[in-house]
């Protein structure tokens, strides 16, 4: 039989086991009562996922980890599941989206964060961006890399009405090298708003211009927002001015201060107002080797003209007209255009570029808003500056780009 010492030892082990079991049972009961341990890391979203207002797609979009770090799996997904580009901060506490979002689009956060307690917290949630009533597009009249004349205005033409003109104008940045004084002005509504930038004086040859319009996401007023940002980079070429004195029956083309050519011509005969070549600074806007013109008031339709350089949207061109060659240099007999011989018209045509000034003098009617299109230089500088929207409601021109009743043209033949 076992000794007394063995029995006592056995009894002692049983007692110890009971104590250990009792201790384990007490720990289990406490953990069950308190529940699973909660992660210490939290995440904060910009824009907040609880905001009722839909965020602008250009607003800052990011997620931050509080009391922890973000994991590499953090991303913002578009509806098709594509990740939007973004960057992680060096300390891995902030992920920032690096490109604008789309209008009226739902985006989803995905990923996780890890707290200093090594427990994971999900990065999840959705938001939907602003969905405008209307998106306004804009067309810039001067292309990147284009060479223009010294009087060229920069024109932004919107495909709808801009009610918040001040906000839009503040989003326009234009710089010149060398520095050149200029200003924006809002001209007449013509199936949409238009704003022009013009220099105070003719620009210096070689001037470089950069324009940036940060319009995407910008409230244009009445529920309309900008559809896209636009830019334009161009340069002023040589100085060329056409001196057009109607009484002289000729035009003098001045290149960089020296006479390049003197050409006999015929101006508008001036018997009725519609035949008067307007006095004032016109601007070359386009040119065509072959052009077809109609002027019902003058009784002609689809007349084929050669070497046509448009100088106003009221129907004024410098172009060839063999029928008036006999009086060119001696008499003014046209319906408002400046007529040249075929050879002289081609010679001038080859030198003309957009933005060249054509200074007409000696007629009884001045170029004005009523002549449409580019009449920017008809305003003195204080008046032009008053047409900016920055200091309040701008003084705007009332005439459309193309005047009612102006001669029509169908362009080059098919």
Residues with catalytic annotation? Answer: 319, 337
Burial class (CB in 10 A: 0-12, 13-18, 19+), 178: exposed
Q: What residue has token string 């324009």? A: 211
Q: How far apart are CA 394 and CA 213, in angstroms?
A: 19
Side-chain-side CA neighbours of residue 343 (13 Å):
6
SS3 225: strand
Cis, peptide link before residue 178, omega less than 30° from 0: yes
Q: Which residues pair with 283 in a beta bridge?
A: 357
In the chain, % helix, strand, coil (3-state, to 5) comes to 15, 40, 45
Q: How far apart are CA 262 and CA 264, in angstroms?
A: 7
Q: How far apart are CA 344 and CA 328, in angstroms?
A: 11
Q: How far apart are CA 296 and CA 274, in angstroms?
A: 12
User: What is the number of H-type helices and E-type strands within the chain?
Assistant: 4, 31
Cβ pair 255, 239 in contact under 8 A? yes
SS3 246: helix
Q: How many CB atoms lie within 10 A of CB 383?
A: 11
Cβ pair 53, 135 in contact under 8 A? no
**Any residues with CB less than 8 A from the CB of 399 and at least 6 apart, and which?**
188, 368, 369, 370, 371, 372, 375
Q: What is the dihedral of CA 256, 260, 266, 272, to 10 degrees?
A: 0
**Any residues with CB less than 8 A from the CB of 128 and at least 6 apart, and which?**
54, 104, 105, 106, 107
Give the tokens for residue 103: 């209008």
- Residue 138 sits at φ, ψ, to 5 deg, of -135, 140
């Amino acid at each position: 039989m076992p000794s007394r010492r063995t029995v006592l030892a056995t009894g002692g082990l049983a007692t110890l086991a009971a104590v250990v079991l009792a201790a384990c049972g007490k720990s289990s009961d406490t953990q069950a009562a308190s529940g699973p341990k909660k992660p210490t890391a939290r995440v904060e979203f910009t824009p907040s996922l609880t905001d009722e207002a839909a965020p602008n797609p250009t607003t800052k979009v990011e997620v931050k980890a509080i009391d922890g770090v973000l994991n590499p799996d953090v991303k913002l997904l578009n509806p098709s599941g594509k990740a939007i580009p973004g960057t992680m901060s060096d300390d891995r506490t902030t992920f920032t989206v690096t490109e604008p979002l789309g209008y009226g689009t739902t985006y989803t956060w995905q990923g996780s964060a890890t707290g200093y307690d090594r427990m994971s917290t999900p990065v999840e949630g959705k938001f939907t961006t602003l969905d405008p009533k209307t998106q306004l597009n804009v067309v810039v009249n001067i292309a990147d890399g284009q060479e223009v004349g010294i009087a060229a205005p920069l024109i932004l033409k919107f495909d709808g009405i801009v009610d918040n003109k001040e906000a839009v104008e503040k989003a326009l940045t234009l710089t010149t090298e060398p520095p050149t004084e200029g200003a924006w002005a809002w001209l007449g509504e013509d199936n949409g708003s238009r704003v022009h930038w013009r220099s105070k004086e003719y620009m210096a040859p070689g001037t470089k211009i950069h324009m940036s319009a940060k319009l995407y996401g910008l409230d244009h007023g009445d529920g309309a927002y900008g559809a896209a940002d636009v830019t334009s980079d161009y340069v002023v070429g040589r100085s060329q001015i056409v001196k057009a004195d109607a009484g002289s029956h000729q035009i003098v083309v001045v290149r960089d201060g020296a006479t390049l050519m003197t050409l006999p011509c015929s101006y508008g005969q001036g018997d009725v107002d519609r035949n008067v070549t307007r006095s004032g600074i016109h601007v070359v806007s386009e040119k065509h080797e072959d052009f077809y013109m109609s002027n019902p008031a003058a009784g002609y339709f689809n007349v084929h003209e050669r070497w046509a350089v448009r100088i106003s949207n009221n129907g004024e061109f410098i172009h060839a007209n063999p029928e008036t060659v006999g009086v060119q240099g001696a008499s003014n007999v046209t319906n408002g255009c400046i007529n040249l011989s075929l050879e002289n018209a081609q010679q001038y045509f080859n030198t003309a570029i957009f933005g060249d000034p054509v200074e007409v003098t000696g007629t009884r009617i001045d170029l004005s808003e009523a002549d449409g299109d580019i009449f920017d230089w008809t305003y003195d500088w204080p008046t032009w500056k008053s047409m900016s929207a920055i200091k309040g409601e701008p003084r705007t021109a009332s005439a459309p780009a193309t005047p009612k009743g102006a001669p029509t043209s169908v362009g080059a033949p098919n």
